[in-house]
């Protein structure tokens, strides 16, 4: 669905929307599900639909970092920088698939990448960083809550976009 925001080349407008979505990510970061898992990525997925994959990824990275900050960096700063990067890639993929295909395939892609794939990557990198909570222990403890939270964030973003429709 093409709309004025996506097709606009007005960088001030896009930056303003991006800032609003980062602010919404901060609010979502305060709504914790488990540990540092929160509703911070819903605005990023929505931004990926509305503003495009790149700006959505920026919102996703900043949203995760805000969640990590409000949680006290429970997995250390280096680990949260890695996770924020993974989040950025996931949101970018969601926006890219959404633009080229449909919301169902994009949602499935995002849920799989932000759930099991990102948890597996986090388990790997946590082992490399010699963290106490790492490897398969981290994977098994986080994969289900993270996948469910990811599904909630993605589905809420798609529902919100569909509900707003042509008003955007």
Residue 154 near residue 39 (C-beta atoms within 8 A): no
pLDDT score of 7 more than 70: no
Task: Write down the domain spans for the chain.
Answer: 4-167
Whether the pLDDT of residue 53 is over 80: the answer is: yes
Angle at 26 between CA 25 and CA 31, to 5 degrees: 90
In this structure, of 8-17, 48-57, 90-99, the range with the lowest mean pLDDT score is 8-17
| Multiple choice CATH, 4-167, 1.10.150.120, 1.10.10.10, 3.40.50.261, 1.10.1760.20 | 1.10.1760.20
What tens digit of pLDDT does each residue of 111-166 get? 999 999 999 999 999 999 999 999 999 999 999 999 999 999 999 999 999 999 77
Neighbours of 152 (CB within 10 A): 15
Q: Can you give the pLDDT at residue 2?
A: 47
């Amino acid at each position: 669905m093409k709309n004025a925001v996506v097709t606009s080349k007005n960088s001030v407008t896009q930056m303003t929307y991006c800032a609003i979505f980062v602010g919404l990510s901060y609010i979502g970061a305060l709504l914790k599900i488990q540990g540092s898992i929160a509703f911070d990525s819903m605005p990023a997925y929505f931004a990926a639909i509305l503003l495009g994959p790149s700006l959505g990824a920026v919102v996703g990275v900043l949203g995760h970092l805000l969640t990590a900050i409000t949680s006290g960096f429970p997995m250390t700063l280096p680990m949260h920088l890695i996770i924020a990067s993974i989040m950025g890639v996931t949101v970018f993929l969601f926006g890219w698939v959404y633009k080229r295909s449909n919301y169902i395939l994009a949602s499935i892609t995002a849920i799989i990448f932000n759930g099991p794939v990102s948890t597996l990557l986090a388990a790997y990198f946590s082992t490399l960083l010699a963290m106490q909570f790492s490897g398969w222990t981290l994977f098994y403890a986080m994969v289900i809550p993270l996948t469910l939270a990811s599904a909630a964030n993605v589905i809420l973003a798609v529902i919100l976009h569909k509900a707003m429709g042509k008003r955007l």
